[in-house]
Structures are given as C-alpha cells and as structure tokens.
Amino acid sequence: MKSDSEIERDVREELKWDPDLNADDIAVSVKNGVVTLAGFTHSYTDRLEAEIAAKRVAGVLAVANDIEVRLPAIDQRPDPDIARDAVAALKSQLPISHDQIKVIVKDGWITLEGTVEWQYQKTTADTAVRKVKGVKGVTNVITLKPKIQPTDIQRKIQDAFKRSAEVDAERISVEVRGSEVMLEGTVRSWIEREEAERVAWSAPGVTKVEDRIVVRPY
C-alpha cells in the first residue's frame, strides 16, 4: 500500500504528465488515500481533466475536487450566448432527444434538466455542453424514465463484466431491485471502480446505480 506522501507525489506527477492540462495552479493534498485538489484552472475542462488524472493514480481511494474555474477575460461570455451555444451542442449530439432537455445558465454555470430514456443520453448531454466556451461548471439533474421495463438486468451486467478486460467480475456482486442496481465488492483501482459503474449504467432500463465498491489494491 502506498503512503499518503507517495500518492501525493504520484498525483502531482500525473497532473504534470497530462499534455492537455496546465497544472501550475493546482494544489494537491492526501489523507488516508483521499485526494483533495484545490487552486484554480482557466477552463472547466481542465478542472475535469485534473480530477480524471488524479483518479488514474494507483492507491487513490477518492477525489474531492475543490478547484475553482477562473476564466480569462477573453473567454468570459454573457449567459444568453452560452445558453444558445449549449442548445446548439445538444441538437448536434442528441438530434432525436434534445428537445426533452432544458438548459439553464447562471453566471456561466449550466444546469441541465428534463427527462430522457437512456443513461447515455444524460451522459452525452453533459459532455456536449461542458465544451461550450465560457462554461464554468455543469450540474446535470436530468432524470431517467425508460419506456420499457428492464428484463434480466443482473445477467446482462454480469455478462458485460466478464467480457471487460478492465473489470474483475469475480470480485463484484450485482443486486437488482426493479430498475435500480447495487454494486458491491472490491477492485484494484478507482478507474476499475468507475468502469464497473459505467458498465452497469449501460444496461437497458437502468435508472439508478448505487456503487458500494471499495478500492483495495491487491
């Protein structure tokens, strides 16, 4: 097991290693395997990229992202302009279901509301608007309401785990209650934990995933 100081060192190195990220103004602290990121970035995508980079590091159990987004003056835009471009991005990425999603912008922060049938639609909406110039953050409160009843969700998820090269299916248990899924067990890294959750969300009809998987390097 890595010590907190070793994890902190590795996270700092990972932030510097990422070619898409300017990590000069990001502070890193670690306590009991939990990483806290502070400081600021010049874009929302950099804030997200810093979190992703930290989660890649072995030994990291969780990440608290307290990074502030400070947009350069040239990137700051009025809320109506951001909203217009966010709507256009949704139309481009979700041509069939974009009209089910509502965009609200306040002080550069986007809130997504509405109802969609599939998790991928909720995820795609988030990814689409976060790239809009001038965005400082995104809150995604889109709800899922599948039109069809889920069938045999547990088997589909377990089979998907077995196919995945990144997930040790033997160490994860799947419990299904209606359209809600609960995952338990242990994994080797935070990335493996996220992959297991992503697989569960990909199953048809799933409206909620409760991830109780514990990161325990072995």
0.75 surpassed by pTM: no
Amino acid letter, 211: D
Would you state the torsion angle of the CA atoms of residues 21, 26, 30, 35, taken in this order, to the nearest 10 degrees? -50
pLDDT at site 178: 81
Q: For residue 58, how far is the Cα from the chain centroid?
A: 18
pLDDT at site 156: 86
pLDDT at site 54: 94
pLDDT at residue 80 is higher than 80: yes
Q: How far is the C-alpha of 144 from the C-alpha of 35, rounded, in Å?
A: 31
Q: How far is the C-alpha of 62 from the C-alpha of 68, rounded, in Å?
A: 19
pLDDT at site 151: 59
* Pure H helices in the chain: 4-17, 44-56, 79-93, 119-130, 153-163, 190-202
Residue 108 — φ and ψ, nearest 5°? 85, -5
pLDDT digits (tens, 9 = 90+) for 149-203: 555 788 889 998 988 878 888 899 999 888 889 999 999 888 899 999 999 988 8
pLDDT at site 57: 93
Structure tokens at 142: 């889109």
Specify the residue for token string 């899922």: 144
pLDDT at site 150: 54
Q: How far is the C-alpha of 178 from the C-alpha of 206, rounded, in Å?
A: 9
pLDDT digits (tens, 9 = 90+) for 91-147: 999 998 899 999 999 999 999 999 998 888 999 999 999 989 999 999 999 998 876
Structure tokens at 56: 């890649």
Q: For residue 172, how far is the Cα from the chain centroid?
A: 20
pLDDT at site 77: 95
Q: Are 193 and 213 in contact (CB under 8 A)?
A: yes
SS3 sequence of 93-147: HCCCCHHHEEEEEECCEEEEEEEECCHHHHHHHHHHHHCCCCCCEEEECCEECCC
Q: Please state the rounded mean pLDDT for residues 58-81.
A: 94
